[in-house]
Structure 1
Amino acid sequence: MSKKKNLRGKKRSKQKKSSRRKVSGVPFWRQPVFLGLLIALSAFIGMLLFSRIPSPEEVAPTPQIVKEISLTDLRVEVESLLWRLGLKPEDVNQQPSEGVLDLRVKGDFPDEQQVIGFDERLQALSTQLRVESYPPRRELRVFSGPALTVRLRFLAPSLQPADPGPAVTIIMDDIGRSLDKVRRVLALEQPVTLAILPSTPYAQRSAELAHDEGREVMVHIPMEPQGYPAIEPGRDALLLEHSAWEIERRLKYMFQRIPYAVGGNNHMGSRYTEYDAGMRSVGEFLRERGFLFVDSRTTGKTLAEQTMQELGVPSVSRDVFLDNNQDVELIRREIRRLATLSKRYGLAVGICHPHPETIEALQLELPQLAHEGVRFVSITEAVRVAQSRGN
């Protein structure tokens, strides 16, 4: 009997303990997890509720309306600048250029304070407008965002007489492979403009040496020739298959490689310069950045200079290749012919290459022609001469 009573007592104690554990309705080992889930759920609901209420900082600002500036508005400010410079209507000649107010002005280039004042007045019209000054080229340009809208080209007083005298420009192509040849050309008293191939090992250094001597440089832009790909124009050349975006990318790279460049001319390109769409892409790149272009005329069907003129890019064309025959006396004869053309037309542009015979012919002939009154000028000056003559 006593054993039965003990067994019943143990069962009752177990039942009491188990009933105490089941009071909450959830097993004891699960209670912390349950509480954690409740807390996480509450936090999530709170985040949803508060995310729907916009804070004062998140209220979208009222969009600013940018006033569209017309060429008429810009013309008023341009005429105001010219009036402040003391110029008369007959001193200003507008050039045909689609979407750009392109003016040639007979007068002195504005000083720094006048340019700053002009820029401030344009800023009052629109913060999208900015003025860029190019004193060496005697040009002011107004941009609306990235787009060129106004170009003012001031003709130097020395270029305004009817006959300033014959001028010759000599460009030496294919520069960048030898610094010794660059130094020999820069040692000439008469200026020779260097056209530097971007992919050559001494491209940048050649440009720096020329700049130190006060000489101008251009980018010698490789372009697709007739006979491509059998005839290779070089690395990063512009090809007919390229899109406008790819052309701009390659040109940016070339001009970054050659500091102080004032413009470019074509290397080869007998096929590319016949390609209207491609040359327009090149011209738009040059126009937006204030560069000039020289048509090397590697084909009789070239569209280069015509396209540049239509786009308002300062440009001239090559008249004579000086060293098709690498013989000193024959090269001297071609230099003389170039000088004769300059006397007939007022300006002549010759292109040559850094052959030893060419450099020797230049050393012999240029001082003699200068003594006879022929002016040897940089390519920038040549473009201004052409503009002053209405070429």
Structure 2
Amino acid sequence: MDLQPKNLTKKKQTIVFFLGALSLFCIITLDYIASKQRQSSYFFRSSLSQPKTSPSTSISPSLADVILSTLFRLGVPKDAVQSHLDNQNTLHVLVNLPAREYSQLAPSLKKQLASQTYGSPLIEKHQLGTTSYHLWNITRDQNKAVILFQSPLRLLRSEKTLSPSLTQIKRQNKVAIIIDDMGNSLKAIDSICRLGYPVTIAILPHSQFAQETAQLAHQYGLEVLLHLPLEPLPGNNNFHGNSPSSSMSMINSQMATPEIVAFINDCLQNIPYAIGVNNHQGSLITSNPRLMTIILQEIKKRGLIFIDSRTTNQSVAYQIAKSLNIPTSYRKIFLDNEVSSPKIKEQFIKLLQRARHDGWAVAIGHPWEETLLILKEYQDLFSDYDCQPVPVSEIVPQSPSD
């Protein structure tokens, strides 16, 4: 009888402990729920008051930021700087700067690039006429930039920048020479600008120095064409030098009209000062009337001329351009299908003979050293054959239907 009250007391204690523990659990649970809902909380208040932290990351300034901020910090006026990011994420910067200021600025810019682990730029120096050019090529991982500094120099009286015999004396027979595949080096445009007579520059839109080449050509009064990459026939994709590496870098036969239009627009954005278009490769596309009509209608909308490179004798591009009333012409002579000086000279003479016979002729060459040397050393042949070198736009009105 004496044990019953003790057992009853233990049961009551157990029940009280259980209810207390349950109550505490409920309180903590409710407090946790409140903390998750960002309401007033006691037990979890300290964890909420601490903001979430992410692993520390050091984000270095972009290459564009480093270059432009350094230029402006060193006193280069903003209106002396033009910059553009192309579709391959390469930054192009054109800086107009007196030669003396460039000499003072260059070491500081090099130092700033090195401090941001971009290393030392590759620098080319060119002098064309009264202007000195310094081309900086900067590459690290996916960061690429091209800076072209141009500095006017004093013109010495003894300097000769033009050839009066070719630019002032007008002859009846006109010759237009187009140099294709430009934009991969400034050495070629340097040599062409020194020729002293008109040569038309056709620039590949995705070449490394496309914009800089167009800028220099324009400054020296040379006409610029977009060298539009078009799909060739199978097995015919090694036509001269700098071919697109894949079907994505050219207009191909599987593209829909909006894709073709977008590709042309993108290419033209990379070639400032373009007055027209000629085709790079394209034996498959230029023999397709439907695709050429799409391309030429877009060219017509922009008021550009079109030159058919005629990489195939099946091309219909010239005829369609004529039917659309686009100012147009076509290539008659390739100067350097065989890259040897004797062959190139032979083709150059054929060009002049053809122009003397027909009254006009368009030739296409490429920036091989041999080609540019022939154009320099044998320019007296123009007068021997009574021919006048002209920009290709001067040929367009003379080109008859054939």
Question: TM-score per shorter chain, which class?
Answer: 0.5 to 0.7
Q: Which residue of 1 aligns with 2:327?
A: 314
Alignment of 1:246 with 2:259, yes or no, is yes
| Corresponding residue for residue 378 of structure 1 | 391
Does 1:284 pair with 2:297? yes
TM-score by length of 1: 0.56
In the TM superposition, 1:252-267 aligns within 5 A as 252-267=265-280
Query: Quick check: 2:252–2:285 contact (8 Å CA) kept in 1?
Result: yes
Tell me the amino acid that sits aligned with residue 294 of structure 2. Answer: S
Q: For residue 269 of structure 1, what is the amino acid of its counterpart? A: G
Is 1:227 the equivalent of 2:234?
yes
Is 366-375 or 343-352 further displaced after alignment? 366-375
2:57 maps to none
Report the Cα offset of residue 325 of structure 1. 1.0
Q: Does 1:345 align with 2:358?
A: yes
Aligned to 1:193: 200
Aligned residues of 2:171 and 2:387 also touching (Cα < 8 A): no
* Residue pair 1:233, 1:267 contacting (<8 A) in 2 also: no
Mapped to 2, the partners of 1:345 and 1:165 lie a distance apart of: 11
Could you say what secondary structure the match of 2:395 adopts? Answer: helix
Q: C-alpha deviations, 1:134-187, integer Å up to 9, x for none?
A: xxxxxxxxxxxxxxxxxxxxxxxxxxxxx9711100000000011011110111
Q: Is the Cα–Cα contact under 8 Å of residues 294 and 317 in structure 1 kept in the other structure?
A: yes
**Cα displacement string for residues 320-363 of structure 1 (whole angstroms, at most 9, x for unaligned residues):** 10001111121011111001101111111100000011011111
More helix by share: 1
CA distance in 2, matches of 1:172, 1:220: 10
Is the Cα–Cα contact under 8 Å of residues 287 and 316 in structure 2 kept in the other structure? yes
Aligned 8 A contact 1:329 1:361 in 2: no
* Residue pairs, 1:68-147, within 5 angstroms: none
Q: Tell me, yes or no, if the aligned pair for 1:305 and 1:315 is still in contact at 8 Å.
A: yes
Does the 8 Å contact 1:190/1:367 carry over to 2? no
Supply the AA of the counterpart residue of 1:173. Answer: D
Match of 1:204 in 2: 211
1:273 pairs with 266, 273, 286, which one?
286
**Residue range with higher mean Cα deviation, 325-334 or 221-230:** 221-230
- In the alignment, what sits opposite 2:313? 300
Question: Residues of 1 paired with 2:359 and 2:172: CA distance?
Answer: 7
TM-score w.r.t. length of structure 2:
0.54
Residues 294 and 361 of structure 1, relative CA distance in 2, 3 Å threshold = same
Q: Does residue 227 of structure 2 align to residue 214 of structure 1?
A: no
- Which residue of structure 2 aligns with residue 119 of structure 1? none
Task: For structure 1, list consecutive stretches of 5 or more residues without a partner in the other structure.
Answer: 1-162
Look at both structures and tell me which one has the larger radius of gyration over its CA atoms.
Answer: 1
Partner letter of residue 220 of structure 2? E
Structure 2 CA distance for partners of 1:216 and 1:228, relative to 1, 3 Å: same
* Rounded Cα–Cα distance in structure 2 between residues aligned with 1:372 and 1:318: 19
Aligned to 1:167: 174
Deviation at 1:312, TM superposition (A): 1.1
Contact preservation (8 Å) 1:331, 1:361: yes
Tell whether 2:189 aligns with 1:176.
no
Paired residue total: 227
Contact 2:354-2:361 at 8 Å conserved across structures: yes
